[in-house]
Chains A and B, each alone.
Chain A
Amino acid sequence: MRPSFFHHLHPPTIPAKQSRWRYTLGAGGMAVFLLLVLGATGILELFYYIPTPDQAARSIQTISYLVPFGGLVRNIHFWAAQLLLIVSAVHLVRVVFTGSYAPPRRFNYLLGLALFIFAILLDFTGYVLRWDQGIQWALVVGTNLIKTIPLIGNLLYIVLTGGTQPGLPTLIRFYAWHIFGLTLGAVILGVWHIFRVRRDGGIAVPPPPLRVDKERITRKELARREVLAMLMTGAALILFAAFIPAPIAQPISDINVMAGDAKAPWFFLWVQQMLKWGDPFTWGVFVPLIVLAVLALIPYIFPKPADSELGKWFPRSNRSAQIILAVIALLIIVLTIFGSLPAS
């Protein structure tokens, strides 16, 4: 076959065992697909969205209810964004639970973690672009949290919001970050991440002498499975988009006037729950940063899984890393559940 771009992405053959669904969960591939979907639907939304406080929520209603297929486009964008966070988290968990972060993949693990942060920031900025009563309080709380950072908090607040309280400059800045700054960063990191997978020798497997299962599949078979995963994800997105509309509420009339939902977006409910415990900086900034630091340090502080144990779930030699991640994940899930309960 004539060499093409496709050949850069996949080696001629890859180990059969490590290309099974039950090993990869298809999470990384799904994340790539979702990013493509988000790019395409996001571009379409650009044609109607108006980034001003008066017009933002109204223009989203126009897309959702008046523009032919607009509702479908917006709902797919919304659901792909939510799903992206879930598959990214699943991918992270898979990588730690299979010990795949070990050298030479340490750096790529960090790239992946950075991508995850970008995905969260993209989700949050996108959520704020609704500029409706549903996002008002999360925006006030989120930006006020920045203010609690010692020394540079006030400067960061103005740099982020463009004023002393959320308003037109804030919406414009979040818009610029969402459609350009963060997106560009995510694209660069994403391409680098995928490039490094290939560069680091593909998916983690034991070195050839230790390999029990020598069976391999061709890249055509791999591509077939990828297309299958895309079709299934695409079908799920269309199904969700068709039946569960993305939220939109009344436009924010006055940033100080209490209206709408005081709940954080679902991916920050765990932080909102912790904020009920006390000092905003400690629980809202410091602790999440510690969680991030622990995640980033996993490949550096825990022992490298034994070569013979690579390419399978739960290698005995890196139990400590698995336990740490499981505890963090469990705490976040439990806090999210508590945070989602209606206030007493």
Chain B
Amino acid sequence: MSDLSRRDFLKLTTTTLLTISGALGVGALFRFLDYQTEPPAKTEFDLGPAANYPIGSRSLVPDVPAFLIHSQNGFSALSLVCTHLGCTVEQKGGEFACPCHGSLYNADGKVLRGPAQKPLRALRVEVNSNGNLILHTD
């Protein structure tokens, strides 16, 4: 037999069991709170007939929020969510400025001034069978 006394054994058992139940409880609590009641946020936006956006047009789509560009090369879109901490950037003389922490992007979404490190995200745009523009944010 080992040197473990009856008292120490009971103490160790109690501590171990309490620790395990505590950890299980915390795990369960996190799983309980991790549930999402709302459907995931929309990732597809119908912007209406593509013909509404002629070549050379640059339009703000506030509820995405995104910036839609129709150039000679076709449609492209920039997410207006600042890559630093997610504020919506504002258009300022062809550039995009973040009001929260001062990041600055050029018209193509490249970082001109931090704190943001990554460029504004390019979003996928396609024309569906009805001729409507569909913007994807995923």
* Residues from chain B with Cβ under 8 Å of A4 in the complex: none
For A152-169 the 0/1 string (1 means CB < 8 A from B) is 000100110011110111
Q: Smallest distance from the beta carbon of A51 to chain B beta carbons, Å? A: 14
A210 CB-CB contact with B under 8 Å? no
Nearest chain A CB to B123 CB, angstrom units: 13
Residues of chain B within 8 A (CB-CB) of A232 are none
Query: Smallest distance from the beta carbon of B118 to chain A beta carbons, Å?
Result: 12
Contact B100 A272 (CB under 8 A): yes
Does A43 interact with chain B (Cβ within 8 Å)? no
Instruction: Determine the chain A residues whose CB is within 8 A of the CB of B117 once the complex forms.
Output: 279
Assess the B100–A257 pair: CB atoms within 8 A. Answer: no
Is the C-beta of B94 less than 8 angstroms from some C-beta in chain A?
Answer: no
Q: Scan B5-42; emit 1 where CB is below 8 A from any A CB, else 0.
A: 00000000000000000000000001001111110110
CB distance from B76 to the nearest CB of A (A): 20
Selected from A159, A167, A256, A272, the residue in CB contact (under 8 A) with B38 is A167
CB distance from B130 to the nearest CB of A (A): 25
Question: Given contacts A158-B34, A159-B33, is CB(A276)–CB(B101) below 8 Å?
Answer: yes
CB distance from A41 to the nearest CB of B (A): 29
What 9 A-B pairs are tightest by C-beta distance, nearest first?
A262-B99, A258-B88, A159-B33, A144-B86, A276-B101, A141-B85, A278-B115, A144-B85, A262-B100
Inter-chain contacts of B40 with A (CB < 8 A) = 163-164
Q: Cβ of A254 < 8 Å from any Cβ of B?
A: yes
Residues in A whose Cβ lies below 8 Å from that of B3: none
Question: Which of A158, A159, A165 contacts B41 (CB under 8 A)?
Answer: A165
Contact pattern, A 244-283, Cβ under 8 Å of B = 1, otherwise 0: 0000000000101110001000000000100111111000
Q: Which chain B residues in 51-86 approach chain A with CB under 8 Å?
A: 62-65, 81, 84-86
Q: Is the CB of B63 within 8 A of A256?
A: yes
Supposing A159-B30, A169-B36 touch, asked if A258 and B90 sit within 8 A by C-beta, the answer is yes
Report which of B38, B85, B90 forms a contact with A280, defined as CB distance below 8 A: B85
A257 engages B63 (CB within 8 Å): yes
